[in-house]
Amino acid sequence: MGAESVWSVDPRTGEPRGGGPVAEVSGPAAVDAAVRAAHAALPALAERARRAALLRAAAERLHAAGPELIAAADAETALGTARLTGELARTVFQLRYFADLVDHAAEPGGFLDVRRDSADPGLTPPRPDLYRVKLPLGVVGVFAASNFPFAFSVPGGDTASALAAGCPVVVKAHPDHPETSERVAAVLREAVREVGLPEGTIGLVHGFEAGPGLVRHPLLAGVGFTGSARGGRALFDVAAARPRPIPFHGELGSVNPVLVTEAALTGTGADPGPGTGTGTGAAEELARGLVGSFTLGMGQFCTKPGLVLVPAGAAGDAFEKAVADAAAQVPAGVLLDARMREAFLDGFARRAGLGDVQTVAPAGSVPTPETPLAVRAGVLSVPAASALRGSHEALLEECFGPATVLVRYADPAEAEAILARLDGCLTATLHTPAADPDAPALLAALARFAGRVLFGGWPTGVAVADAMHHGGPYPASTSAATSVGATSVERWLRPVSFQTVPEALLPR
């Protein structure tokens, strides 16, 4: 019996796209072959100059192939060419960024973290000659995300950082964009051949069972995952249950709370922070910013603000009305697949049906002949005292898609009680004037459960930068590492100290 076929599906209609299957489901033999080919490529990646050359060649080839890749990604995700053009540009920049990091990896402050202690027999106890450096873990398994077919998929940050560390990669393609994954993998393999590295340096597998099979493979040394809490936790447990457990760096999503003070809505207080509206129209400005953020990409960002703490009273009423008005202007759109659409609609309806919950803007299905699976954004509102009930826990959890929950708090104690109930988050945002005497304490409270704390502005969008941290306490992520920025490469390295090894024999 032949292998099962992998089809590309149009998210606008839910129907398979024409042209036939785009790949085959990877059985155990295919997964084993991909991992073994990657493992055989390890020695060739030891040369840092070759790694940097690969990352730059991949960036150039992805940029050159941009139009065809963007067209394929839009056909499979409905994310739109403008959004995907920006995402591909980010991905190309990220590859070049890591190439630059590789160039300087052995310098002070570089990711190899080279340290040297000369021998000193006069110390008690005597100190031997020590040379410490970080070495690559081995083959890394990367799980592509549904919502970022470039930046968190085959050529994304996990792949780029692993290659920078000297680790070959086997990517588990996401079923929502298999054709895009195949096209991108072909481009990356062209770059691999261009710089003279083994073709197994970058592998690609498809199919649900290929995921746990990849994690269980004895030659796999680490995993990078971006996706749902349920799927990530299941694979995390597989990684921990192996005879030899391996690191599993999972980014699992988040509710990303926003705390808005009355001063931010009314314009009282001086010296507002960046992106914090004050004065006349402050509520309207903040409302437009919130709606733009939670509906960006149809609410399918892991950093979407899904919970907004707003003061009760006249200022909160004005803000709520402004949010409703802004949400009504958002065009309907399509989610990444029919399963996510149903989960979004069911999740919103279940939350809307809880006691004391008001529907500020109704989410729902708005089919058209061209997009029968389209939906509109929704907003809910609830008093903080009700949200604190055990029966209302769903309001404090992520609802993937274009929806957010306004929690109306009567006093700071209620706001603090809501924050204390939240699990680990990727981001937390504070909107208040900089002169607010409570701002330092509020920022400290948000930092206790979030990996990135914003003062003003909105959390959607993650900069590729040295100081960026994209992660957070569980369940936002399964480790203390970041999946974005310079230090993400540290996930795929392990420190080794060499003692009294002759200079000529030390690793370079």
Q: For residue 115, what is the enclosing H or E element?
A: strand 115-117
Task: Write out the two tokens for 368.
Answer: 């058209």
- Residue 440 and residue 457: Cα distance in Å, rounded? 17
> Would you say 438 and 414 are in contact if contact means Cβ atoms under 8 Å apart?
no
Tokens of 467: 């100081």
**Whether 60 and 73 share a structural domain:** yes
91 shares its domain with 182: yes
| Residue 3 binned pLDDT confidence (cut-offs 50, 70, 90) | confident
- The one catalytic residue in 76, 87, 285, 302 is 302
What 3-state class would DSSP assign to 188? helix
Residue of 329, 389, 332, 323 whose CA lies nearest to 357: 389
State how many domains the chain has: 2
Residue 115 pLDDT > 90, yes or no?
Answer: yes
- 323 plus 440 within the same structural domain: yes
Q: How far separated are the first and last CA of the chain, in Å rounded?
A: 49
Residues 343 and 400 in one domain: yes
CATH number for 132: 3.40.605.10
| pLDDT, tens digit (0-9, with 9 covering 90-100), for 128-176 | 999 999 999 999 999 999 999 999 999 999 999 999 999 999 999 999 9
User: Distance (Å, rounded) from C-alpha 260 to C-alpha 276?
Assistant: 10
User: CATH number for the domain including 266?
Assistant: 3.40.309.10
Catalytic residue among 179, 251, 320, 397: 251
Q: Name the percent of the chain lying above pLDDT 70.
A: 97
The reply to whether 13 falls in a domain is no
Residues 217, 269 within the same domain: no
Tokens linked to 333? 């759109």
Asked if 305 contacts 293 with a C-beta cutoff of 8 angstroms, the reply is yes
Its domain, for residue 389, covers 257-455
Q: Mean pLDDT, to the nearest integer, of 339-367?
A: 97
- Whether 469 is covered by a domain: the verdict is no
| Contacts of 82 by beta carbon, 8 Å cutoff, 6+ apart | none
pLDDT digits (tens, 9 = 90+) for 446-474: 999 999 999 999 999 999 999 999 999 99
What is the tens place of the pLDDT at every residue in 211-235?
A: 999 999 999 999 999 999 999 999 9
- The 3-state DSSP class for residue 497 equals strand
Identity at 109, one-letter amino acid code: G
Q: Is 425 a catalytic residue?
A: no
Sheet holding 115-117, edge to edge: 115-117, 130-136, 493-499
In a domain, 471, yes or no: no
**What percent of the chain is predicted at pLDDT more than 90?**
96
- Preceding peptide of 125 cis, ω within 30°: yes
Same domain, 196 and 288: no
Tell whether 164 and 39 lie within a shared domain. yes
117 within some domain = yes
Residue 274 scores a pLDDT above 50: no
Closest to 376 measured CA to CA, from 340, 345, 336: 345
C-alpha span between 396 and 384 (Å, rounded): 11
How far is the C-alpha of 305 from the C-alpha of 303, rounded, in Å? Answer: 6
CB 169 within 8 Å of CB 220: no
237 and 267 assigned to the same domain: no
pLDDT mean over 361-381: 97
- 8 A C-beta contact, residue 120 and residue 182: no
- The C-alpha angle 368, 363, 381, rounded to 5 degrees, equals 165
Q: Which of 326, 335, 261 is nearest to 289 (CA)?
A: 326
* pTM over 0.85, yes/no: yes
Residues in contact with 432: Cβ distance below 8 Å, sequence separation at least 6, in sequence order? 259, 260, 261, 263, 264, 269, 273, 276, 438, 439, 442
Q: Is the pLDDT of residue 275 over 70?
A: no
**Nearest CA to 147 among 342, 302, 13?**
302
Query: Which band of pLDDT confidence, cut at 50, 70 and 90, is reported for residue 269?
Result: low
145 Cβ partners below 8 Å, 6+ apart? 152, 153, 156, 174, 226, 227
Mean pLDDT of the chain: 96
Does residue 71 form part of some domain? yes
In a domain, 26, yes or no: no
Residues 93, 151, 56: CA angle, nearest 5 degrees:
35
Domain assignment of residue 460, yes or no: no
Asked if pLDDT for residue 43 goes beyond 70, the answer is yes
Residue 466 lies in a domain: no
Sign of CA dihedral 488, 134, 249, 47: positive
Cα separation, 92 vs 34, whole angstroms: 25
User: Domain check: are 239 and 274 in the same one?
Assistant: no
pLDDT of residue 508: 76
Q: Which amino acid is at 464?
A: V
Whether 361 and 309 map to the same domain: the answer is yes
Predicted pLDDT at 355: 97
Residues 284 and 385 in one domain: yes
Q: How far is CA 437 from its chain centroid?
A: 33
Contacts of 92 by beta carbon, 8 Å cutoff, 6+ apart: 59, 62, 63
- Tokens linked to 402: 């274009």
In this prediction, residue 267 carries a pLDDT of: 79
Comparing CA positions, the residue from 319, 225, 228 lying closest to residue 266 is 319
302 is catalytic: yes
Looking at residue 272, its pLDDT comes to 40
- Domain identity same for 495 and 371: no
Query: For position 270, what pLDDT does the model report?
Result: 39
**Contact 110/104 with Cβ under 8 angstroms?**
yes
